[in-house]
A = this chain, B = another copy of it.
Amino acid sequence: MRPTTKDLAREAGVSRATVDRVLNGRPGVQEKTVRAVQDAIARLGFERNLSAANLAKRRVYRFDFLLPREGGEFLAELETQIRDHGQQMRADSVEIRARRVLERDPHQVVATLAALSPDEVDGVAIMASESPQVRDATLRLNERGIHVVQFISGQHGVRPFDFVGIDNHAAGATAARLLGGFCNRLQGHVLVITESMNSLDSAERRLGFDHVLNTRFAELAALPTLETHGDPARARTIVAAAFRNFPDIVGVYVMSSEAAAPLDAILRHDRHAQLTIIAHERTESTLDLLERDRLDALIVQNPGHVVRSAVRLLKSRCDGRQPLASQDDIRIEILLKENIGGARVRQTLSDRQRPAP
């Protein structure tokens, strides 16, 4: 049987009221009394029963995922996962919303963040490209008592905020390793394309990519990054131009999370069959291309895992406990035609049952 606050009080030789004061950091307790209680905690291995505490406090964890307003398949998949997990966590008094509120403009993002109140939300996961303004607004959020994790966009391992997502430098490096390996010592150019280089993510991926390509695959030369700015027509134009100027392109790396438009532009080109192509994220269209051998590999972050990690992290912060670093480290996953698995069929929420009788 686990010790309760009652046991703690007896062990420490104080009353339950004092135990309560110590446990919840209320003022007006003598130093030596505090220590007596803490010793008792250590001796008994006391651990506060979170269920009971949350019940008593009528505590509900409210977390918002703040997502870009514009987005494609990958973002849609994220939203689905957020909703699914939210449904799953409701019984545990965790309420999760996915909100498509972030504009491209950093100032708008700042405004949105500034409007958040601790009365409405306990923590937010923000998916916005890094900028000094946003960074500032985030800090102010924290001061107001709202916990924050950087979600997918942002930099790995940079304090002071928790980050959930893959290490983009490593992701780019992995892409280069795969591309180089699959190119079979061919000589030629590599096309690199993304939606926009404004986001830190793409910049990081590019750095990692170049590093490995230069050190390990001297026979391949990467071209400057092409940017589609989310415009399919523009994508077609710049890709066509690239193929015209560089007839010896042997590989393509699509860096952005949303890969549909760039891939479409590339596959229109008549030499696509001889190309080694690597892209990011698992979506309807990328999976389809992978299965049809149009695409050689996908570098993926598991949407379900990132969502759950973000929530776990926010909850840990709210409870004032230090999360385990190793636990929420998102690994870069590589998807080949051979390891897609049967996971395309997704059970929908409506398939689930109510609590059994």
A interface residues (Cβ-Cβ under 8 A, vs B): 2, 23-25, 41, 47-52, 54-55, 60, 84-85, 88, 90-93, 157, 167, 170-171, 173-174, 176-178, 181-182, 184-185, 208, 212, 300, 302, 304-305, 308, 319-322, 324-327, 329, 331-343, 345-347, 351-357
Contact = CB atoms under 8 A, between A and B. Distances in A.
A326 B339 contact: no
B332 A339 contact: yes
Contact of A92 (B51, B85, B308, B340): B51
A182 B177 CA distance: 10
Nearest to A327: B304
Contacts of A171: 339
A218 B105 CA distance: 53
Given A304-B327, A341-B170, A93 B49 contact: yes
A329 B341 contact: yes
Contacts of A157: 342
Given A47-B90, A354-B41, A346 B325 contact: yes
B336 A333 contact: no
Nearest to A300: B331
A353 B55 contact: no
Contacts of A333: 331-334
A176 B324 contact: no
Contact of A343 (B326, B352, B356): B326
A198 to B, nearest CB: 24
B182 A336 contact: no
B93 A51 contact: yes
B327 A302 contact: no
Contacts of A339: 167, 170-171, 173-174, 177, 331-332
Contacts of A331: 300, 302, 333, 335, 339, 341
Contacts of A52: 51, 55
